[in-house]
Amino acid sequence: MTASRTPLLAINGLHVTVEGKQILNGLTLQVRAGEVHAIMGPNGSGKSTLAHVLAGRPGYQITAGTVSYEGRDLLALAPEERARQGVFLGFQYPVEIPGVNNVYLLKAAVNAVRKQRGLPEVDAFEFLGLVRDKMKLMHIEDSFLSRGVNEGFSGGEKKRNEVLQMLVLEPRLAILDETDSGLDIDALKVVAAGVNSQRSPERACVLVTHYQRLLEYVVPDIVHVLVRGRIARSGDRTLALELERRGYDWVSGEAA
């Protein structure tokens, strides 16, 4: 896969605190279009914080460092602007919103992106066709459309719904925060198929994961290990396998 010269996402010396506690501690990372990166690390290493900071969640203080996306300052954008520019966060814990139905949210989200690009609102009929195809891929039933967002969904259904949203929105940069956690092997394969279906030279994906299991199905170009808020080691997919064998203590010890 040919990577373009300018990174799609460039994080430089990022320091982030949450309620006065240092979580990210000089994190530097570059993701080029066409690449799939996996970010692994022990609990509390800052993986989810990184995902949330990139999506613009309130409550995180950025004390130093920069993040550029498509060459522009990502941190200056509001969360909804980031989404409309093509940044997507797949939540570790997708939120239940009873009373807002799935199809409404999907359509509102698609139209927000289209408005940004100066396109007219999506044709309702065409939209349903598009969504149904992707629902099939994600093994999601039709009745899902009229249900409340994630309302009463099982853990696996919520994760598949996150990937469905990603497929419908076609982001340039997808950040999936532990989308594999809590999935049985069948659901994991479905999620992986979804992620693989949107790999392309124009787009990039950052998989935040605790286990290497997902990486058997979505093969990453680069694997990073995050320890105490910075990248302790990077390598190809064999790094994930080595981590699996030797445990995080191996890298943590080195980084200390």
Partner 1 sequence: MSTPLTARIVEEHANAAAALPPAGPTAARRRTAIAALTASGLPTSRDENWKYANLRPLERLRFIPATATPALAATDLPAAIPGFARYVFVDGAFAPALSAPLDSTAAAVTPLAAAPDAGQASAAMAVQTPAPGAPADERFALLNEAFATDGAAIRVAAHSGEPVRLELVFVASADALTGASYPRVELQLDSQAHLLLIERHVSAGPHASFVNSAVTVDLGCGATLHHYRLQELAARAIVFDTLSAVVGRDACYRLHGINIGAQSARSTLAVRLAGERADLTLAVVALGERQQVQDTYARVEHAAPRARTEQVFRGISAGRARVAFNGKVVVGSEALGTDSRQSLRGLLAGPEAEIDVRPQLEIYTDEVRCSHGATAGKLDENMLFYLLSRGLEPEVAQRLLKWAFLEDVVARIGVAELRRQIEERLAQQLPEPAARAEST
Which residues make up the interface to partner 1 (CB under 8 A)? 55-58, 78-80, 82-84, 88-89, 91, 94-95, 97-100, 104-105, 108-109, 112-113, 116, 148-149, 165, 169
Q: How far is the CB of 84 from partner 1 (least distance, A)?
A: 5
Q: How far is the CB of 36 from partner 1 (least distance, A)?
A: 21
Q: How far is the CB of 106 from partner 1 (least distance, A)?
A: 8
- Which C-beta is closer to partner 1: that of 75 or that of 112? 112
- Which C-beta is closer to partner 1: that of 106 or that of 218? 106
Phi, psi (deg, nearest 5) at residue 131: -65, -40
Instruction: Give the C-alpha separation, 224 to 214, whole Å.
Output: 15
- Which C-beta is closer to partner 1: that of 144 or that of 248? 144
Q: How far is the CB of 69 from partner 1 (least distance, A)?
A: 15
Q: How far is the CB of 109 from partner 1 (least distance, A)?
A: 4
- Which C-beta is closer to partner 1: that of 68 or that of 116? 116
Tokens of 48: 């989810």
Q: How far is the CB of 48 from partner 1 (least distance, A)?
A: 14
DSSP string, the chain: -PPPSS-SEEEEEEEEEETTEEEEEEEEEEE-TT-EEEEE--TTSSHHHHHHHHHT-TT-EEEEEEEEETTEEGGGS-HHHHHHTTEEEE-SSPPPEEEEEHHHHHHHHHHHHHHHTTPPPPPHHHHHHHHHHHHHHTT--GGGGGSEETTT--HHHHHHHHHHHHHHH--SEEEEESTTTT--HHHHHHHHHHHHHT--TT-EEEEEESSSGGGGTS--SEEEEEETTEEEEEESHHHHHHHHHH-HHHHHHHH-
- Which C-beta is closer to partner 1: that of 71 or that of 120? 120
- Which C-beta is closer to partner 1: that of 172 or that of 230? 172
